[in-house]
Amino acid sequence: MSAVGKAYAPVTYAAGREKVREYARATGETNPLYLDVDAARQAGYADVVAPPIFACVYSAPAVTPGMFDPEVGVDFARMVHGAQEFVWGPLVVAGDEVTTTATVKDISERGGMRFFIFTAVSENQRGETVCTGTWTLIVRGSQ
């Protein structure tokens, strides 16, 4: 049975102010919208804004079960990270609850390597799609 099209249980992540700030600091971000509540509010946001690549924080927990699903069959001993692509919608702001649903988009083989592609769609509590991510894993020398 092919796992293509298989969806996993949605995962909800509450974007907290300190988590947003910690992520911004850890990644060297200096934009005051990511760090300063007053600056974010002056710009029209309810709280600090998450840097766009914060999408990894709220979407990875939804994608991970698919990566470890025996039906999908990712061989981690021979896996390399292929790519990640994101398309963003409205910004995530501290206080948002983001729910992500991951799906196995494709599994294919080329040149003796297997490609596993997952899609993660993340929506805020208002039903707005804040991010759609495509995660590609490559397994070298697969059978």
Residues 40-65 have pLDDT tens digits of 999 999 999 999 999 999 999 999 99
Structural domain harbouring 135: 11-15+52-139
Asked if residue 39 is part of any domain, the answer here is no
Asked if residue 28 is part of any domain, the answer here is no
Q: What's the pTM?
A: 0.92
Asked if residue 2 is part of any domain, the answer here is no
What CATH code is carried by the domain that includes residue 88? Answer: 3.10.129.10
SS (H, E, C) the chain: CCCCCCECCCEEEECCHHHHHHHHHHCCCCCHHHHCHHHHHHCCCCCCECCHHHHHHHHHHHHHHHHCCCCCCCCHHHEEEEEEEEEECCCCECCCEEEEEEEEEEEEEECCEEEEEEEEEEECCCCCEEEEEEEEEEECCCC
Asked if residue 43 is part of any domain, the answer here is no
Asked if residue 6 is part of any domain, the answer here is no
Number of domains in the chain: 1
pLDDT tens digit string along 95-120?
A: 999 999 999 999 999 999 999 999 99
